[in-house]
Amino acid sequence: MENDKIETIGKSVIQHGYNNDRIYLMKIQPDDIESVVQRIIDLQDAYKYGKVFLKIPESLSVFFKQLNLLEEARIPKFYQETEDGLFLSGFNDPKRARDEGYEEIQKNLYQLLMQKESSSFRELKPTNVKMRRAKLEDLPYICALYRSVFETYPFPIYELNYLKKCINEGIKFFIGVTSTGVVAAGSCEIDFVASSVEMSDLAVDPEFRGCGLSIQILSYMEEQMKEEGVKTSYTICRGESLPVNRLFSGSHYNFAGTLIKNTNICGKFESMNVWFKLLT
């Protein structure tokens, strides 16, 4: 299946396509609102996507009322520590609004809440892994790692040209390296207007799981973002995966909400949990 397309409208960004069967408003600038709303309507009329998904400041939500959206997640003071960020969704396919795994997600969240209240936990860190920022020559190895970990993914992170484009546009990739090569990776996409960063594309070589690489690379990425002056870190991760949710919960992230059947990842449409943390 073709990768979803990314369109720029003024200084705003929309992703859409049948891979994720959705329209995703990734970034919005106030001056672009009228054009963005009309583009979403036109895309939906033309392609009948199953879901419309927006990430916007709360003050702009009034301009999207005609899209009949529901609030699925909220990050307090997401924009420059002053204004909440809303994650709004509209379901054009009734089946898309129902998740058979929702009860399992709730069980996971309850379990993580109990762990948080009873004690803090940290995974053991391996001593032979070096964390650093990725270079262009590392990209083929990062692609290979992603291919080994993800059956499907909402963005074409297995493709070398896509990762090059990401780096050229300012997305920062970080890796864990041993003498055998790249064994962990993750990316930081900074929104300087909001002073927020999305922690994404986290992956660990299956042979190295269970030795603490996930928490090590996440901590390293956070430290790098603090040096950039970014105020809020967040992630959108697989709701049914207890290990990845434990990673963020155990790293003092707060739960913000669940996005129902939001993303085509690991071979199917999955609901995603939103977690956030203040870095300042």
SS (H, E, C) 160-208: HHHHHHHHHCCCEEEEEEECCEEEEEEEEEEECCCCEEEEEEEEECHHH
pLDDT of residue 44: 97
Distance, CA of 79 to CA of 101 (rounded, Å): 31
Question: Which band of pLDDT confidence, cut at 50, 70 and 90, is reported for residue 122?
Answer: low
| Residue 174 and residue 188 in contact, taking contact as beta carbons nearer than 8 Å | yes
Closest CA to 154 of 264, 27, 240, 26: 264
% pLDDT > 90, the chain: 87
Element spanning 84, H or E: strand 83-91
pLDDT > 70 fraction of the chain, expressed in percent and rounded: 96
Q: Are 246 and 112 in contact (CB under 8 A)?
A: yes
Q: Is-contact 48 92, C-beta < 8 A?
A: yes
- Neighbouring CB atoms inside 10 A of 57's CB total 18
Domain ranges of the chain: 5-97, 102-278
For the beta carbon of residue 115, count every other beta carbon within 10 angstroms: 14
pLDDT averaged over the chain? 93
* Dihedral angle sign, alpha carbons of residues 104, 244, 248, 86: negative
Q: 266: which residues sit within 8 A by CB, 6+ positions away?
A: 150, 151, 152, 238
Contact 50, 16 (CB under 8 A): no
Spell out the residues 6+ positions from residue 42 whose beta carbon is closer than 8 angstroms to its own.
none
Structure tokens at 251: 């790293």
Q: pLDDT band at 49, cuts 50/70/90?
A: very high
Assigned architecture for domain 5-97: 3-Layer(aba) Sandwich (3.40)
| Single-letter residue type at 10 | G
For the entire predicted model, the pTM comes to 0.93
**Number of separate helices (H) and strands (E) present in the chain:** 6, 13
Domains 5-97 and 102-278 in one fold:
yes
Architecture field, domain 102-278: 3-Layer(aba) Sandwich (3.40)
Rg of the chain on CA atoms, in Å: 18
Distance CA 95, CA 109 (A): 23
Mean pLDDT of all residues in 173-197:
95
Question: Which range, of 19-28, 30-39, 116-125, 204-213, averages the lowest pLDDT?
Answer: 116-125
Angle at 88 between CA 12 and CA 217, to 5 degrees: 75
User: CA angle, 208 as apex, 205 and 214 as ends, to 5°?
Assistant: 80
| CB count in 10 Å sphere of residue 181 | 12
Task: Tell me the two tokens of residue 58.
Answer: 């709360």
pLDDT at residue 176 above 60? yes
